[in-house]
């Protein structure tokens, strides 16, 4: 299953969730309406509780109002919860007591966690997520939360941090990244909102029931009988319990199969089953297991690496632990669980002695083999393997210290981002330096120059990973400052009015990844590829890539035709225009439209773009990074080594 198939599967799961949600909501609305009707029938002085049909006819407006009000309460609660979670995965982690790992972390266990997360993020081609530790949780567990990779957060418990060795931790983090890449994370957030809406009536019922007791006491003293509100409160409480039942069944049915798929994806990441399998075995042999204690596990149980509560059977959000292990290690038996205790933390720390040390940069990573096939590029999107993880680890380890440290500082990451968008060809460098001094002041501008000088000494392929590493630090700055960074970066690439295609795509990655901080509610609406404006935008992107990637109009048109041919009849007849003007504004609008393509459309587009770029059989580092930048702009993460492989 590739990235696009996984995205389609996640969308099918979402549609299934919507259907189940509507069925559960309709059942609850009918139940609430029936309770109100019966309460009125039982306590109406005009009917004496005996003539139900006339009462329904008489009170039809009231009953309809109750049904509408119930619908609004459920929908409103769902929207309220979803809106609260729109701030990103960090909100979920903080609500559960998570502590954000600081940029200057010195603890070797936390450094190891940060290193593992960064390596897998770089290998996946996504921004590095925020990293949290649930300090009060001794169980072995973890989760990823957020609407999209750009606003994701990964949290691990203290038990995970202290009881797992590096291979086991890598297996757990790879499992969580598979949820990020496969679209499960967004579904999990929607589940939280939907289930809150279904369960909220139970809370209202308990409030009404408590108030009804006082009303009943007052009514009994006046010899008027228990008021209808008591029955209504009791009925809402019962319906709330039914809502909880529905919610847990929905959550479990959506969650269980995804855990098997995430385990399989994690094994593909690491190319060895032992790390993930041993992490699961430690859960089985540890007294605290994977259970959460300080935090409320029920709301997030479907998001966790291991089961967070003791619910089982129909309500279990995870497959049985032994079954998950046997899928990775067929010879395992339940009697083979190891004995795990807190003394294992000493072993974990002793294995960490050199984790924080990074080798000095020598030659870095350079060179590439022949260009891969377009089909291989498509398969690599959101689908890294162990070779790419190892490549990412080498790449991260060979980033110059001054750049790596800057990427982890909220203040310096801002300046590093400015240096990253500056022109390496030197064509407009003097103007960009002058602009930096004008806008940032002497001291900060000199730091930008220093970072640019360091960047000039290393390969282009380091630029996107550095930006991905810097995102957590950047997101800690106030939104107005991020808005200013985007404005300044835009002025940098347009300092002479002539924007380079690669510079623009890199700039767009910066903007799109910070967009959720500036506008947390912004989500692209998916469209079918058959729509004419979308088709025209795709054709224009292929034309721009062909024109800027080939020498001469004839070669450009040939590459353009080759790219369009991958679309089949979808593209239709399209003319190749040789106009050399590149409009960043026009391309920006086209990418806004193309990012909304469904999975099938984006898969076709990426195959067409890669065919066009690699038509001449050669692939430069800049072309490879252009491909990565275009993919990132389309929210289709491409690993850095998917197109460039290190020389042996």
State the catalytic residues.
176
Helices (H), 527-578: 532-549, 553-565
80: left (phi over 0), alpha (psi -120 to 50) or beta: alpha
DSSP string spanning 109-133? HHHHHHHHHHHHHHHHTSPPPEEEE
Using an 8 Å Cβ cutoff, are 416 and 402 in contact? no
End-to-end CA distance of the chain: 29
DSSP type of residue 527: B
- Measured CA to CA, the distance from residue 47 to residue 39 in angstroms comes to 12
| Parallel, antiparallel or unpaired: strands 153-157 and 130-134 | parallel
Classify residue 474 as exposed, middle or buried by CB count within 10 Å of its CB (0-12, 13-18, 19+).
buried
Number of other residues whose CB lies within 10 A of the CB of residue 263:
23
DSSP type of residue 426: S
639 token code pair = 């690993």
- Measured CA to CA, the distance from residue 328 to residue 275 in angstroms comes to 10
Q: How far is CA 10 from CA 54, 138, 272, in A?
A: 48, 31, 26
DSSP type of residue 617: S
- Measured CA to CA, the distance from residue 568 to residue 572 in angstroms comes to 8
Helices (H), 135-183: 158-163, 166-181
- Measured CA to CA, the distance from residue 407 to residue 377 in angstroms comes to 28
Helix, strand, coil shares of the chain, percent, nearest 5, are 65, 5, 30
143: left (phi over 0), alpha (psi -120 to 50) or beta: beta
Among 245, 242, 256, smallest CA distance to 316 is for 256
Q: How far is CA 259 from CA 39, 179, 299, 312, in A?
A: 45, 9, 17, 15
Using an 8 Å Cβ cutoff, are 262 and 143 in contact? no
569 token code pair = 């009849």
Using an 8 Å Cβ cutoff, are 486 and 514 in contact? yes
């Amino acid at each position: 299953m590739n990235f696009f198939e996984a995205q389609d599967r996640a969308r099918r799961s979402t549609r299934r969730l919507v259907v189940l949600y509507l069925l559960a909501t309709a059942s609850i609305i009918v139940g609430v309406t029936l309770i109100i009707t019966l309460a009125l029938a039982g306590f109406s002085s005009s009917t004496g509780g005996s003539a139900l049909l006339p009462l329904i006819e008489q009170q039809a407006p009231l009953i309809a109002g109750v049904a509408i009000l119930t619908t609004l309460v459920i929908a409103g609660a769902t929207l309220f919860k979803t809106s609260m979670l729109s701030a990103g995965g960090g909100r979920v982690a903080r609500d559960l007591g998570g502590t954000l790992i600081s940029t200057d972390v010195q603890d070797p266990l936390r450094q190891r966690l940060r290193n593992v997360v960064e390596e897998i993020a770089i290998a996946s081609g996504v921004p590095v997520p925020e990293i949290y530790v649930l300090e009060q949780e001794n169980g072995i567990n973890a989760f990823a939360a957020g609407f999209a990779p750009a606003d994701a957060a990964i949290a691990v418990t203290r038990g995970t941090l202290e009881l797992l060795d590096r291979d086991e931790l890598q297996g757990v983090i790879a499992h969580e990244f598979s949820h990020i890449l496969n679209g499960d994370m967004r579904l999990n957030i929607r589940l939280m909102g939907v289930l809150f809406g279904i369960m909220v009536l139970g809370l209202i019922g308990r409030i009404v029931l408590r108030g009804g007791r006082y009303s009943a006491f007052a009514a009994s003293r006046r010899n008027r009988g228990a008021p209808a509100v008591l029955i209504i409160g009791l009925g809402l409480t019962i319906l709330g319990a039914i809502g909880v039942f529905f919610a847990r069944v929905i959550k479990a049915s959506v969650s269980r199969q995804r855990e098997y798929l995430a385990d399989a994806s994690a094994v593909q990441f690491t190319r060895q089953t032992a790390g993930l399998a041993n992490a699961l075995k430690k859960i089985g042999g540890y007294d605290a297991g994977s259970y959460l204690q300080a935090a409320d596990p029920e709301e997030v149980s479907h998001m966790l690496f291991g089961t967070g509560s003791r619910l089982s059977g129909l309500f279990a959000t995870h497959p049985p632990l032994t079954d998950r292990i046997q899928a990775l290690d067929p010879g395992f038996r339940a009697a083979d669980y190891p004995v795990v205790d807190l003394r294992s933390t000493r072993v974990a720390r002793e294995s960490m002695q050199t984790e924080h040390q990074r080798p000095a940069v020598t030659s870095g990573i350079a060179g590439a083999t022949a260009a891969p096939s377009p089909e291989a590029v498509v398969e690599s999107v959101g689908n890294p393997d162990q070779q790419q993880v190892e490549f990412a680890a080498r790449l991260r380890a060979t980033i110059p210290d001054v750049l790596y440290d800057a990427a982890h500082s909220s203040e310096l990451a801002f300046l590093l981002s400015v240096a990253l968008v500056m022109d390496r060809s030197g064509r407009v460098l003097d103007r960009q330096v002058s602009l930096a001094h004008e806008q940032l002041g002497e001291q900060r501008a000199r730091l930008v120059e220093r970072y640019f000088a360091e960047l000039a000494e290393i390969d282009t392929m380091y630029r996107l990973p550095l930006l991905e590493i810097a995102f957590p630090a950047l997101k800690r700055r106030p939104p107005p400052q991020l808005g200013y960074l985007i404005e300044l970066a835009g002025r940098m690439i347009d300092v002479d009015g002539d924007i380079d295609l690669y510079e623009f795509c890199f700039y767009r990655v910066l903007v799109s990844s910070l967009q959720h901080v500036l506008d947390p509610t912004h989500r692209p609406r998916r469209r079918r590829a058959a729509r004419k404006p979308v088709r025209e935008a795709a054709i224009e992107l292929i034309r721009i890539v062909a024109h800027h990637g080939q020498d001469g109009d004839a070669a450009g048109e040939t590459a353009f035709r080759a790219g369009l041919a991958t679309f089949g009849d979808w593209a239709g007849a399209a003319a190749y225009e040789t106009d050399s003007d590149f409009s960043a504004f026009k391309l920006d609008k086209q990418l806004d439209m193309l990012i909304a393509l469904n999975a099938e459309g984006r898969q076709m587009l990426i195959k067409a773009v890669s065919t066009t770029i690699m038509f001449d059989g050669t692939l430069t580092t800049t072309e490879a990074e252009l491909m990565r930048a275009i993919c990132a702009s389309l929210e289709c993460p491409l690993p850095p080594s998917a197109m460039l492989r290190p020389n042996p």
